[in-house]
A and B are shown apart, each in its own frame.
Chain A
Amino acid sequence: MTPAPETSEGAVLGGALVEARGLWKTYPMPAGPVDALRGADIRIGRGEYVAVTGPSGCGKSTLLHILGCVDSPSRGTLHFEGRPVAGLPDSERSRLRLTRIGFVFQRFYLVPMLTAWENVEIVQSEAGAGKAARRERTAELLDFVGLSDRAGHRPSQLSGGEMQRVAIARALANRPSLLLADEPTGELDEETGEQIASLFGRLHAAGTSLVVVTHNPALAERAGRRLSMRGGRILEEGA
C-alpha cells in the first residue's frame, strides 16, 4: 500500500481548524419555517477525525455544508483557519473550497464525460497548478486509492466503490486542510464501505483532518470523536 499523500498541514498545529458557534439554519417552507440547525457549536482541531451520526433529517448534512462553506448559516459564526467566513464574497468562498477544503459526496458526482485521471486533474488545473505538478499529483493520488490501472476509464466504466475512491482522490488533489465526507459509503455495499473506511483511516494517520457524516458503524468507529445529532442540535460527544 502506498503511503498517504501530503496534505497541507502535516503536523498537528495548535489552534482550531474550524470553529462554529451558535449555528442556526432555517428553511422557509410553504407550511412554515423549518430549523435544520438549532444553535450548533462545533470545533474541529487540526488532524482530528470527527464522525457525525444521527437519524435522517437531524441536520447532519446541513452542518457539513455549512462547515464546508457550501451553505451559509441563518445565524451564528463560522471561522475557518481563524478567518471569519460569513462576510466573504462568493469568489473567495469558492477559492476556499477549491484549495482548503475537500468534499466527498454520497453520490460521488464525478464528471461523467471525463476519465478518472481527468476528474482528479481538473480541480488542480482550476486551482492554477502547472502541468507537471498536476501530472505528478494525479498519479500519486490514483496510486494511493489503488486505481492507477483505471486512470483512463470513465465513471460509467467503474464500480461504485471505484468511483468513490476517485472522488476521494479528487477531494485531496489540492492538498486541503480539511476533508468533509457526506455519507461516503451510503451507496456502497459493506465490503466496499470497509475499503473506504480504511482509506479514511490512512488519511487520518497521515495527518488529514476529517469530518465524516455517516450511518456506517465501521466508519464511525475509526473516528477520534463522535458527535451525535438530533433535531438540529449536537447532543453529545463520544470517543
Chain B
Amino acid sequence: MSPAAFALRSLGRDPVRAALGIAGIAIVGALLLDMLLLSRGLLVSFGDLLESTGFEVRVTATDALPGMGPPIEEGNEALRKIAALPEADEAVAVRFGEGCVRLASGRERGVGVFAIGFNRRKEWTILERDDLPAPNAGPGASEVPSLLASRTFASEAGLRPGDRVKLRPGSPGDESVLPATEFRVAGIASFPFDGEGSRTAAMGLPSFSAAHLGGDRPRGADPGGEADLLLVSLRPGESPEGAVAAIRRVAPGLRVFSIEEFLARFGRTDFSYFRQISAALAGITGFFVFLLVATLLTVSVNQRLGEVAALRALGFSRRRVASDLVAESALLVGAGAALSVPLGLALARVLDGILRTMPGLPERLHFFVATPRAFLLHALILGGAALLAAAWPIGLAARLPIAATLRKELVG
C-alpha cells in the first residue's frame, strides 16, 4: 500500500477531525491567496491601466504626480524634440485643469478637465455618439469647441450628445473674473483614470487654453507652450529603457519614466502600505497553516504511538513511517489548498469591493489581481508549510523507542 493510500486511510479513521482541519486550511489558505493577490495586485492593475492608454513613456517637470507639480515650461519645444526621436511614434502634450458647471438647480459642480493633443490612440472609450473632432476638420466643423463628458457629468448636468454646456474656470465658490466658455458635447465617454462618480471633461489643447481652464499660471510665460505631462508612444520593437535614455538626452532637467519605472516608484511609496500588510498577513496565515497541520499530525501520532511502534517492530523503516506522515500532511494541505482557491477568489472580490470604495480611485483599478506568480507562491508556501508541519511528528514517530513504547502501551 502506497504512503498516499495509507495516509488517506489514516485521515479517514477520524473524518470529522480531518474535515475540520481541511476547512481550517481552506479558509486560512484563502486569506493567504488574497494577500498574495493584494501584494502586487494594485501595481499590476495600475500598470494595465497605464498600458491601456497606448503610451509607454511619461515626461513631467518634477517628481510630483502629473498635474500636481509645476508644468513643463516650453512644453512645445520639448514635445518637438521628443517627437523627432527615432524611437518615438507619437508624442502628445496633456494639460490638467478645473472647471465649474452650473446645474439647472443653480448649484455649481466642479469638473475635472484634461486636454490632450490630437493623436491616433484612444485614451477613452466612447459610450455615446462621437469622439472629439480632429483639428482642422474642414468645412462644416463647428466653431464652438467640443468636449467629451463623463457619464456622471452628463447625467448630473442633463447633457446629451449635441447639447451645449458652459464651463467656467475655477472651483465652485471661487470668485473668478474669467468668463465661462460654451462647449458642444461631442459625446459621452468613459475615462480610464476616472473614479466612480467622477465629473470629467476631455477636450483639445486649443479649447483648453482658450477657456483658461489651466488654473494659476505665471504671467509672462506662454500658457499655450506649457504642458503638465507629455505622453510618448514608441515605434514597434523599441524598448522603453532605450527611449527613456534618448528622451533624457534631448530634454535634460525633465523627469522621464517608463511604465515600469513609474510602477516601481509607486510600489515604493503610495502602494507600499498594501505591500507591507499583505506580506505581514501572508506570513501570519502561512504560519497558521503550519501550526494547524503540525498540531493535528502531532496529536494523531501521539494517539497511535503503539501502532507506529508495532509497525516499526514489524519492519517498517523510518523512511516509510516518515513517508506516511508526509503523505498525510500533503493530503490535508492539498485538499485544503484546492478548496482555498475558489474560496480565496470569491473573498478577493468582496475585499476588492471594499477597498475600491476609497475616494478618488480610478474605477478600473483593482487591488486584488490574479497572476500566475500569486498562485505559484500560494502553492509553494502551503507546500512548505505542509513539509515543515510534518517535521516534528516525523521526528516523534521515526525516532520513537520501539520497545519502550510497546511496554508503555501495555502498562498504560
Residues in A lying within 8 Å of B, measured CB to CB:
61-62, 65, 68, 70-71, 90-91, 94-99, 101-103, 105-107, 109, 111-114, 118, 121-123, 125-127, 170-171, 174, 182
Residues of B in contact with A, size category: 20 to 34
Complex Cα distance, B95 from A234, in Å, reads 103
Q: A113 touching B9 by the CB < 8 A rule? A: yes
Complex Cα distance, B6 from A80, in Å, reads 31
Complex Cα distance, B312 from A182, in Å, reads 16
Q: A126 touching B315 by the CB < 8 A rule? A: yes
Complex Cα distance, B406 from A68, in Å, reads 13
Closest Cβ of chain B to A43, distance in Å, is 22
| One of A90, A97, A112 near B318 (C-beta < 8 A) | A90
Q: B1 touching A98 by the CB < 8 A rule? A: no
Q: A94 touching B316 by the CB < 8 A rule? A: yes
A-B contact pairs, 24 of them (CB 8 A): A61-B406, A62-B403, A65-B402, A68-B313, A70-B402, A91-B317, A94-B315, A98-B314, A98-B317, A102-B314, A105-B313, A106-B410, A109-B310, A111-B9, A111-B311, A112-B307, A113-B9, A113-B13, A121-B1, A123-B315, A126-B315, A126-B316, A170-B314, A182-B406
Q: B318 touching A70 by the CB < 8 A rule? A: no
Complex Cα distance, B13 from A65, in Å, reads 29
Q: A71 touching B314 by the CB < 8 A rule? A: no
Closest Cβ of chain B to A61, distance in Å, is 7
Q: A103 touching B1 by the CB < 8 A rule? A: no
Contacting residues, chain B, for A62 (C-beta < 8 A): 403
Contacting residues, chain B, for A94 (C-beta < 8 A): 312, 315-318
In the complex, residue of chain B having the shortest beta-carbon distance to the beta carbon of A186: B410
Contacting residues, chain B, for A96 (C-beta < 8 A): 315
Closest Cβ of chain A to B301, distance in Å, is 14
Does B12 reach chain A (CB closer than 8 Å)? Answer: yes
Q: B307 touching A111 by the CB < 8 A rule? A: yes
Contacting residues, chain A, for B406 (C-beta < 8 A): 61, 65, 70, 105, 182
Does B152 reach chain A (CB closer than 8 Å)? Answer: no
Does B108 reach chain A (CB closer than 8 Å)? Answer: no
Complex Cα distance, B317 from A147, in Å, reads 28
